[in-house]
C-alpha cells in the first residue's frame, strides 16, 4: 500500500479535486493494480482524497463504475476490477489532437490510448499495451506498458535559442511537444534555422523530450533548406554517399566482344527516346522496323541496369534502401548514383548502350503476332522531348516522322482496346511551377498528357504486361514461380456508392455496382464528361481516393485500374528498384532457374511499396510548400474556388485557377454555429440550417500564408 500511496500522491493534488479528476484517478488506480480489492476509504487514501465531501464523492463514483461494469463489488463494499486486462503488441498511432490509437498486430479493432497512458510513444512505434477494463458506453482503451521499437527518433523543425538552452519547434504534426536542447547539445544552431534533432531522453513525467542537434539544414525560407527539411522529415536522403558515388565511378563503361556476342544487335535499327525536356535519365527507347506492308517489328528497349549493379554490392544495397527516385518540385533525388543514372545506363543518343528488351511483331491492327524478351545492344538515333515528338505528330513533319506517326497510330489502337476492356482513364492534370534561380515560384501551370506522352505510355504498358504474362501465365497443372507483380485491387463497394452519391450534386451519374468492366466503363464516361469543367480536379481527386492503392506483391490479383490480369514494372530500372528485381528474376527464369523463396521476395515488395508511398508524400509536400510560397504575396486577394474537403475544424477550398488549397477555419464561419456532419462530410449551421458540402463553389479571400506549416488560411467572401 505504501508503494501505491507514493506513486499516486506524486500526482498533483489540488485542494479541491473535481469529480472528473477523481474519476480519472480511480480508473487509473484499478487499471494499474487490477488484482487489488479496496473499499472507498482505501481508494480515497490511495488517490489523495482526504475531505469528507471528497470521500462521499469517491463512494458515489465507485458505485457508478460498478453500474458501468468497470468494477465488481462484494457485500462488504469492497471493489475490484471487472476482469484483468490482457496484453497485446502492435503499432501506436499518435494524433496531435490527443486521439491516440493502438493498432493490434492481429488486425483487431483500434484501441484508444489516453495521453496519460501513452508513455510518450511516438507515431509508428511498436508497443506492448495492457488492454484496460472496458467501461459501459465508452470506447475500449489501452495503456502502453513498453515501447518495443521506435519508428522515429529524429525530427525536423525550427530552432528557438535562448541563453542557456533552446527548443526545436517541430514541423511534424504527430509530435505535439517541442524538443528541449541544452546549450552543449546545440552544436552552433541559431534562432531561425531549420535543424534535424535526435531525441535522446524523455522522462516519464516530463512534458518535453530532450534532444541533440544532428544536422543544421540552413536558414528557414531558403529553397534548399526547405526541400532538405521535407526529405528529412520523411526520413528520406537528400545527398548521395560519396563512397558509393566513388565506387560507381569505377564501373567500366566498355562494351566487350562477349557482351556483343550474347546480345541481339539493334544498332542499325531506327531507335529513339522520348522524354521530358529536362530529363537526364533516359531508361527507355523505342525501335521500329517495317517487315511487310502490314507488319512491323517494334522494340521496347530498357536500360540494362542490373548488368552493372550486382546483387549484394554497396550500390545495390543503397538502391534497395531508397527503392525509388524522388521527384520534388525543383530536383530529383536519384535511386542510383548519377554516373549510372545519367551517364552509364542512360540511353543517350549516338552511344552504344546495353538493354533488356521486349520485341514485338505487330500488324496494322496493333495485334501482337509474336514477341521475344532479349538482352540487346542499341544506339539511339535521336533524343526527342515530348513537345518535339508532339509537333511531329501534329504537323507531320520532322525527324523520323514516318516512324513516329506509325507508332502513334498503333498506340491509339492499343489505348482504345485497353479502355474497351475496362481500363480506367485517369489522365490527371499535374501541377507544375516555373521557378527563378532561387527556387521561388513565378508561375503555376498544368501539365496535360498529349499523344506523345500516351504513345510512350502504351508501349511501356504493353511491355510490362507481356513480361508479367511470360512468367505468371502457366498451364493449369503447374505453379507459377515467385515474381514481382504490380497489383491494383477492386474498389471498395461502399466507397464507390459514396462517390456516386457525391457526384450527383454536380448533375452526373455513375454506376457503382455490377461487373468490374461495367463500373470502369461508367467511370470512364464520367471522367470524359468532367474534362474542362471547374469541378474536374475535385471529381478526379475524389475518384482516385475511392480506389485502392497499387502495390508490389508476389500475390497476383491483377490490376483493376488497367484491367490487366497480369502486370509488373519492367520499364524503369534507373528509378525503381522493383524493376531491377524483375530484370534479375527474368534472367533466372528464362534460363530455367528454380523459383526464389516467396517470403523474402514479398518482404522486398512490401519495402518497395512503403518507400514509394513515403516518396509520394514528400513529393506532394514539396508541391504544397511551393503553392503556399506562390500565394504568400497574394494576401487580401479574392479567388473563385471549390470546397475540396470538410472536417470538424473547418473547410478546405481549392482555388480554380491554380489548384492551391487552403483552409477556412470553423471559427471564421461567424454567421452561425456550424457542426460537422460525419455522414455527409458537410458543415451544417445550427440556426439557419445552411450547409457547406464537398464540391460547393465559393469565393475566398487569402488571409494568411504560413510557410512553416505549409498552410494557407482563407475566409469566405461569398458562396453559391
H or E element that contains 406: helix 401-420
Interval 410-439 mean pLDDT: 89
Integer distance in angstroms from the first to the last C-alpha of the chain? 66
The predicted pLDDT at position 463 comes to 98
pLDDT exceeds cutoff 50 at 204: yes
* Cα–Cα–Cα angle for 321, 324, 327, rounded to 5 degrees: 130
Over the stretch 343-399, which tens digit does the pLDDT of each residue have?
A: 999 999 999 999 999 999 999 999 999 999 999 999 999 999 999 999 999 999 999
φ and ψ at 697, to 5 degrees? Answer: -85, 135
Tell me how far apart the alpha carbons of residues 33 and 45 are, in angstroms, rounded to a whole number. 15
The answer to whether the CB of 560 falls within 8 A of the CB of 551 is no
Residue whose C-alpha cell reads 482513364 in the numeric block: 425
Confidence of residue 283 (pLDDT cuts 50, 70, 90): very high
pLDDT at 507: 83
- The per-residue pLDDT for 2 is 46
73 vs 10: CA distance, rounded Å: 28
Return the higher-pLDDT residue of 715 and 494. 715
Query: Which pLDDT belongs to residue 327?
Result: 95
Q: What is the pLDDT of residues 586-602, one digit of tens each?
A: 999 999 999 999 999 99
Q: How far apart are CA 6 and CA 47, in angstroms?
A: 10
In this predicted structure, the answer to whether residue 688 has a pLDDT above a threshold of 80 is yes
pLDDT at 6 over 60: no
CA separation for the pair 524, 530 (Å, rounded): 10
Enumerate residues 6+ apart whose C-beta is below 8 A from 500: 509, 510, 511, 512
Predicted pLDDT of residue 10: 45
Rounded to the nearest 10 degrees, how much is the dihedral formed by the CA atoms of 346, 349, 355, 357? 120
pLDDT of residue 263: 97
* 560 three-class SS: coil
- Cα–Cα distance, 344 to 375 (Å, whole number): 16
**Helix (H), strand (E), coil (C) string for 129-190:** EEECCCCCCCCCEEEEEEEEECCCCEEEEEEEECCCEEEEEECCCCCCCCEEEEHHHCCCCC
Confidence check: pLDDT of 720 > 60: no
Residues 70-128 have pLDDT tens digits of 788 877 788 887 755 577 889 998 776 667 888 888 766 788 888 888 888 878 889 98
What pLDDT is recorded for position 94?
Answer: 79
Q: 67 pLDDT exceeds 70?
A: yes
Say what the pLDDT of residue 14 is.
Answer: 44
Confidence of residue 520 (pLDDT cuts 50, 70, 90): confident
- Cα 119 from Cα 718, distance rounded (Å): 47
Is 85:70 a contact under the CB 8 Å cutoff?
no
Half-sphere exposure of 438 toward its Cβ, with a 13 Å CA cutoff?
5
CA-nearest of 718, 678, 715 to 697 is 718
Q: Decide if 175 contacts 100 (C-beta within 8 A).
A: no
Q: Given its phi and psi angles, is residue 312 left (phi above 0), alpha (psi -120 to 50 degrees) or beta?
A: left
CB 513 within 8 A of CB 501: no
239-259 residue pLDDT tens: 999 999 999 999 999 999 999
| 3-state SS assignment for residue 466 | helix
pLDDT in tens, 632-683: 999 999 999 999 888 888 999 999 999 999 999 988 888 888 988 876 778 9
- The pLDDT of 326-347, averaged and rounded, is 95
Whether the CB-CB separation of 375 and 331 falls below 8 Å is answered with no
Percent of the chain surpassing pLDDT 90:
57
Averaged pLDDT, 332-345: 96
Closest listed residue to residue 93, CA positions, set 128, 50, 122: 122
Average pLDDT in the 137-163 region? 84
**Top-confidence residue, 76 or 293:** 293
d(CA 526, CA 519) in angstroms, rounded, equals: 11
Q: What is the pLDDT of residue 96?
A: 64
Task: Report the candidate in 491, 490, 472, 493 with the shortest Cα–Cα distance to residue 481.
Answer: 472
Residue with cell 500526482: 11
Mean pLDDT of the chain: 89
pTM of the model: 0.82
Q: What is the mean pLDDT of residues 7-23?
A: 63
pLDDT of residue 415: 96
The stretch 488-513 carries a mean pLDDT of 84
Minimum mean pLDDT range among 532-546, 590-604, 687-701: 532-546
Q: Name the residue among 206, 218, 224, 236 with its Cα closest to residue 158.
A: 218
Looking at residue 216, its pLDDT comes to: 96
Using CA atoms, how far apart are residues 378 and 382, in angstroms rounded to an integer?
Answer: 12
Would you call 168 helix, strand, or coil by DSSP? strand
Q: Give CA separation, 280 vs 54, 187, 277, in Å.
A: 74, 38, 9
pLDDT of residue 107: 65
Amino acid at each position: 500500500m505504501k508503494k501505491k500511496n507514493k506513486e499516486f500522491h506524486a500526482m498533483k493534488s489540488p485542494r479541491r479535486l473535481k469529480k472528473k479528476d477523481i474519476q480519472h484517478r480511480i480508473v487509473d488506480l484499478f487499471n494499474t493494480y487490477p488484482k487489488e480489492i479496496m473499499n472507498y476509504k482505501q481508494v480515497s487514501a490511495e488517490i489523495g482524497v482526504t475531505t469528507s465531501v471528497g470521500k462521499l464523492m469517491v463512494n458515489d463514483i465507485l458505485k457508478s463504475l460498478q453500474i458501468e461494469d468497470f468494477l465488481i463489488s462484494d457485500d462488504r463494499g469492497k471493489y475490484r476490477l471487472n476482469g484483468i486486462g490482457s496484453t497485446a503488441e502492435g503499432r501506436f498511432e499518435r494524433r496531435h489532437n490527443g486521439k491516440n490509437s493502438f493498432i493490434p498486430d492481429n488486425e483487431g479493432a483500434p484501441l484508444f490510448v489516453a495521453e496519460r497512458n501513452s508513455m510518450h510513444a511516438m507515431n509508428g512505434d511498436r508497443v506492448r499495451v495492457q488492454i484496460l477494463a472496458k467501461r459501459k458506453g465508452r470506447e475500449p482503451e489501452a495503456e502502453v506498458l513498453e515501447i518495443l521499437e521506435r519508428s522515429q527518433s529524429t525530427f525536423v523543425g525550427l530552432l528557438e535559442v535562448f541563453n542557456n538552452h533552446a527548443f526545436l519547434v517541430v514541423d511534424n504534426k504527430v509530435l505535439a511537444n517541442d524538443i528541449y536542447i541544452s546549450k552543449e547539445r546545440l552544436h552552433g544552431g541559431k534562432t531561425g534555422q531549420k535543424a534535424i534533432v535526435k531525441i535522446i531522453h524523455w522522462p516519464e513525467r516530463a512534458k518535453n523530450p530532450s534532444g541533440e542537434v544532428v544536422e543544421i539544414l540552413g536558414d528557414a525560407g531558403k529553397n534548399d533548406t526547405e526541400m532538405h527539411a521535407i526529405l528529412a522529415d520523411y526520413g528520406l536522403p537528400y545527398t548521395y554517399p560519396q563512397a558509393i558515388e566513388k565506387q560507381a565511378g569505377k564501373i567500366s563503361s566498355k562494351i566487350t566482344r562477349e557482351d556483343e556476342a550474347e546480345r541481339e544487335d539493334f544498332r542499325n535499327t531506327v531507335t529513339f527516346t522520348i522524354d521530358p525536356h529536362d530529363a537526364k535519365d533516359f531508361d527507355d527507347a523505342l525501335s521500329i522496323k517495317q517487315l511487310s506492308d502490314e507488319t512491323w517489328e517494334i522494340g521496347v528497349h530498357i536500360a540494362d541496369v542490373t548488368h552493372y549493379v550486382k546483387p549484394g554490392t554497396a550500390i545495390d544495397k543503397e538502391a534497395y534502401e531508397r527503392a525509388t527516385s524522388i521527384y520534388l518540385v525543383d530536383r530529383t533525388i536519384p535511386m542510383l548514383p548519377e554516373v549510372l543514372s545519367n551517364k552509364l545506363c542512360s540511353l543517350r543518343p549516338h552511344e552504344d548502350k546495353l538493354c533488356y528488351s521486349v520485341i514485338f511483331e505487330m500488324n496494322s491492327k496493333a495485334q501482337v503476332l509474336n514477341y521475344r524478351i532479349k538482352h540487346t545492344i542499341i544506339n539511339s538515333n535521336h533524343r526527342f522531348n515530348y513537345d518535339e515528338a508532339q509537333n511531329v505528330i501534329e504537323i507531320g513533319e520532322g525527324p523520323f516522322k514516318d516512324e513516329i506517326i506509325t507508332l502513334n497510330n498503333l498506340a491509339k489502337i492499343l489505348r482504345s482496346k485497353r479502355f474497351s476492356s475496362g481500363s480506367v482513364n485517369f489522365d490527371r492534370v499535374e501541377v507544375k511551377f516555373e521557378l527563378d534561380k532561387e527556387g521561388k515560384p513565378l508561375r503555376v501551370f498544368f501539365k496535360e498528357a498529349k499523344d506523345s506522352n500516351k504513345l510512350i505510355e502504351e508501349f511501356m504498358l504493353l511491355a510490362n504486361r507481356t513480361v508479367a504474362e511470360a512468367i505468371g501465365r502457366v498451364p493449369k497443372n503447374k505453379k507459377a514461380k515467385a515474381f514481382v507483380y504490380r497489383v491494383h485491387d477492386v474498389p471498395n463497394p461502399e466507397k464507390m456508392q459514396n462517390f456516386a452519391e457525391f457526384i450527383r450534386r454536380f448533375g452526373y451519374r455513375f454506376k457503382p455496382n455490377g461487373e468490374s468492366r461495367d463500373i470502369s466503363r461508367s467511370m470512364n464516361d464520367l471522367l470524359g464528361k468532367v474534362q474542362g469543367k471547374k469541378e474536374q480536379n475535385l471529381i478526379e481527386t475524389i475518384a482516385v481516393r475511392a480506389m485502392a492503392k497499387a502495390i508490389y506483391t508476389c500475390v497476383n490479383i491483377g490490376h483493376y485500374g488497367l484491367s490487366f490480369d497480369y502486370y509488373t514494372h519492367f520499364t524503369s530500372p534507373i528509378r525503381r528498384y522493383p524493376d531491377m528485381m524483375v530484370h534479375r528474376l527474368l534472367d533466372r527464369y528464362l534460363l530455367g532457374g528454380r523459383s526464389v523463396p516467396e517470403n523474402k521476395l514479398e518482404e522486398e515488395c512490401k519495402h518497395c511499396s512503403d518507400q514509394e508511398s513515403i516518396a509520394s508524400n514528400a513529393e506532394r509536400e514539396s508541391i504544397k510548400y511551393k503553392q503556399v510560397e506562390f500565394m504568400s504575396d497574394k494576401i487580401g486577394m479574392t479567388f473563385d474556388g471549390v470546397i475540396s474537403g470538410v472536417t470538424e475544424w473547418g473547410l478546405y477550398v481549392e482555388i480554380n485557377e491554380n489548384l492551391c488549397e487552403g483552409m477556412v477555419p470553423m471559427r471564421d464561419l461567424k454567421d452561425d454555429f456550424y457542426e460537422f456532419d460525419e455522414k455527409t462530410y458537410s458543415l451544417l449551421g445550427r440556426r439557419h440550417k445552411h450547409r457547406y458540402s464537398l464540391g460547393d463553389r465559393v469565393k475566398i479571400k487569402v488571409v494568411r500564408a504560413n510557410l512553416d506549416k505549409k498552410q494557407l488560411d482563407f475566409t469566405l467572401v461569398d458562396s453559391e
